[in-house]
Amino acid sequence: MLTGCNDAFSRKQSRPRAGENRSKSGYKLEIVDQLHRAIKSDFHLRALASSTTELVREACRRHELSGAAAIVLGRTLTAACLLTSLTKDERERVRIDIRGNGPLGRVLADCRSNGDVRGCLLCEPDDRHRTPPAHAQGARVSIAAYTGQGQLAITRDLGLERPYQGSVALTSGEIDEDLEGYLTTSEQLPSALGVEVLVDGHGQVVRAGGILCQTFPDGDQTLLERLRHDLRAGNLYDLLLRERPTVDLLGFALGGADFDDMGTTPLQFACPCGPQTARAVVSTLGADDIEKLAGEREYAEVNCQFCGSNYQLTSAQLRELAAELRRSRS
């Protein structure tokens, strides 16, 4: 299995790739967060690989998560990055809304085709640092007991008049496996999807990444079936035990077969919220309630659910906002 990955790596060592720097002593491998696209040379399969370690770390830092909670949110963010790849349109956006009945079953992720991704895990404070299950040889780390069963909704916005929304039952509790079922049944693209987040003994994120491989409905699914088996057996987890560039993940996804490199997109945790967004949120209260709020406290605080940022509006700013709303309606 790993031979194919190493072969793909050695074939491409003649020149630096994204995530590599040449030094006087040779190559220095620097793994960067990115989405890497490829197509099998016979054009029967497309594959995507993502490295998401830094953005998952940033998300967990902002939301103060570790252990099992870090794995749940990290897997969802990584999956969202892989799903935002249908077109090259900068307006493409994918939102994942997971509503499971487990203690860590409420997850939101929002990714744009420019590589900006944000997300959050809605849970009780005591659940933010749950100890994850141990990794057993020949199996992946299961999060089913934490997410539970429920509903998984995907909204795909291609910048058209209306976004497309679909949903599927959250049955296995494994986020990538249920998303894989959604892609195969609802979007009719036979898929193999796997995402992993590795944490250390303190529950901190060590490495995160994922793979998505797809073919046409009438295409040969032999490779997909093999990849699904490998993903369920925890082979992606094993692959990520050491730092690897995304081209190695593509080699693993395609079984070492030749592929055409379709380019990369940098990935980063980013949220478009800001002071103006906070003002817009407060303005929904209406001028009278805003003015009342200004008289009750020195400032109002608005928290962004997706990134954890806090914005404060002073009583003077609240009164100014109330006055603006009244002027706009006169």
Res. 213 pLDDT band, cuts 50 70 90: very high
- Nearest-angstrom CA–CA distance, 183 and 176: 10
Per residue in 60-91, is it b (16+ CB within 10 Å) or e — as a string? bebbebbbbbbbbbbbbbbbbbbbbbeeeeee
Res. 310 pLDDT band, cuts 50 70 90: very high
Q: Are 71 and 199 in contact (CB under 8 A)?
A: yes
Amino acid at 73: L
Res. 23 pLDDT band, cuts 50 70 90: very low
Question: How confident is the model over 9-33, as a mean pLDDT?
Answer: 44
Question: How confident is the model over 160-179, as a mean pLDDT?
Answer: 91
Summarised one tens digit per residue, pLDDT across range 253-290 is 999 889 999 999 999 999 999 999 999 999 999 999 99
How are beta strands 164-170 and 150-157 bridged, if at all?
antiparallel
Give the class (CATH, top level) of 33-269.
alpha beta
Q: What's the pLDDT score for residue 32?
A: 86
Cut 0.85: pTM above it:
yes
Summarised one tens digit per residue, pLDDT across range 91-112 is 789 999 999 999 999 999 999 9
- pLDDT over 70 (residue 1): no
Q: Are 166 and 187 in contact (CB under 8 A)?
A: yes
- Nearest-angstrom CA–CA distance, 76 and 65: 14
CATH code given to domain 275-329: 3.90.1280.10
- Nearest-angstrom CA–CA distance, 207 and 32: 11
Percent of the chain with pLDDT over 70: 89
Q: Where are the domains of the chain?
A: 33-269, 275-329
